[in-house]
Amino acid sequence: MDELQRVKRELKRLRTALPPLPTPDRLYDDIIDDCRNVMRTIESLDELRNDIEYFYHSNLRYGELEREAHILELEAENCKLKLQSLRQHLRLLFSVVPILIATKAISALAWRAKMEEAQSYVMRDGQEKELLTSQKDIEIVVNDQLQGMDEFFAAIREIRSSCLNMERGQKESINVRILETMQFVSATVADMREQMERIGTNQVLAEAEPATSSATLVDNFSQTAESCQMATDERDRGESSEQAKIASNAEYMEAVEMEYEKARDDPKEAAIRAEIKSLETELSNVQKRLRELARKRTCRQREYEAGVYRAEERKMRCVFCGEQGLHYSDSCSKMRTGAERRGFLRRCGRCFNCLELHCEGGYQCVKYRIPCFHCKERGHHSATCELPETSVQTGVEKLQCELAIDDIFRRLRQLRKMDNEKS
């Protein structure tokens, strides 16, 4: 009897120690609500992953892109925290079930029957889907989502770092780059202009003595006009005299025409026309090359600026120079070109996508599907892209073509003016 009383007292103490427990129906409803919230949060994460493509095709300024990427990162971080909170809350709710069964608030069979009831949830597009209510299934889904978010955050961090580097570089070095490019182009155009003027001067000076001047032609034409007037005045003197004068004038006109043709064949004029023809051919070739360059694919220039923007990334080392926490691999100034970096990765046996050792590479790399910031293609890291270097070369060549076209037009106007004056 005493033993029974002791057991009852212990049982009473245990019941008193238990926190207030929900009813089985309330517990079941809370579990279903949390499961629905998990699926809706996963749907929001999928939408955020789709939004990342926007940054590879946007025409916004780098500063605005970085702010948009930061907002996207914060939204993804919020979804991650929400998933972790829901997972922890579901674990707490499921831990109450054995207590309810132990206190005989519900039987194990009745609870199992409740959990086996089919449940559904409605997606944002109105589509209805089956709801997962098993604790094991929910744990697997949430863990997969949390692990997959590492790749998502890596893509956002790369976008933000590239935008910050580009913006900083534009503010600090755009004037220097323009000055260097203009100096190079100006020197090239000056050399071309000097060569063209030297060739034109040599051609003009090397020709033979000038033929009949334009003043002589004017005098000859004046004499011809006077002769024609005299022939008209003497028309009444007789048919034979008129025919003789007409024949004489015709012979004189033939001589004048021969002299005019001789003037047209002036070596100076021939040299001018030859140069005009040569410049027109050169102009056509330069314009054709400019059209070819305009069709080439280009991107913004790569910036070589120091600095990282996340505290946890200050321990990261640059793959190419080994410096720790000073800059990202894409901004390394010691190994600047994509071709040089690709050769380095190939020699070291590193992956072209994640830049890490011991990675199978290709489709097996977890970063294979992350698009390159410069060319928007997949299959390589932004640090190894060669499009920024080719874009610089294309831009310089386009500027050279434009300046050459302006110079050719200027020279053609001079030559055509000289040709008209001689004619």
- Asked whether residue 80 falls in the same domain as residue 48, the answer is yes
Q: pLDDT tens digit string along 247-269?
A: 555 564 555 455 445 445 567 77
C-alpha–C-alpha distance, residues 275 and 206, integer Å: 14
- Asked whether residue 254 falls in the same domain as residue 275, the answer is no
- Asked whether residue 261 falls in the same domain as residue 197, the answer is no
Let me know if residue 161 belongs to a domain: no
DSSP classification of residue 63: H
CB atoms within 10 A of CB 156: 20
- Asked whether residue 197 falls in the same domain as residue 334, the answer is yes
Domain with 187, as residue range(s), is 174-210+271-423
Q: CA 50 → CA 56, 59, 307, 423, distances in Å?
A: 12, 18, 29, 70
- Asked whether residue 233 falls in the same domain as residue 203, the answer is no
Percent of the chain with pLDDT over 90: 10
Let me know if residue 422 belongs to a domain: yes
Among 190-204, 290-304, 350-364, 400-414, which is the least confidently predicted range? 190-204
Let me know if residue 98 belongs to a domain: yes
The pLDDT assigned to 250 comes to 54
pLDDT band per the 50, 70, 90 thresholds, residue 213:
very low
Percent of the chain with pLDDT over 70: 72
- Asked whether residue 296 falls in the same domain as residue 231, the answer is no
pLDDT band per the 50, 70, 90 thresholds, residue 37:
very high
Asked if the model's pLDDT at residue 203 lies above 80, the reply is no
Asked if the model's pLDDT at residue 31 lies above 50, the reply is yes
- Asked whether residue 362 falls in the same domain as residue 402, the answer is yes
Q: pLDDT tens digit string along 18-29?
A: 778 889 999 999
pLDDT band per the 50, 70, 90 thresholds, residue 310:
low
Let me know if residue 163 belongs to a domain: no
Residue type, 168: R
String of DSSP letters for 317-368? BPTTT--BSS--GGG-SSS-SHHHHHHHHHHHT--TTT--SS---GGGSTTT
DSSP classification of residue 20: P
Per the model's pLDDT, the better-predicted residue between 410 and 16 turns out to be 410
Question: pTM for this structure?
Answer: 0.42
Average pLDDT for residues 193-207, to the nearest whole number?
64
Q: pLDDT tens digit string along 141-161?
A: 998 888 888 878 888 888 877
The pLDDT assigned to 259 comes to 47
Per the model's pLDDT, the better-predicted residue between 214 and 75 turns out to be 75
Asked if the model's pLDDT at residue 64 lies above 50, the reply is yes
The pLDDT assigned to 215 comes to 46
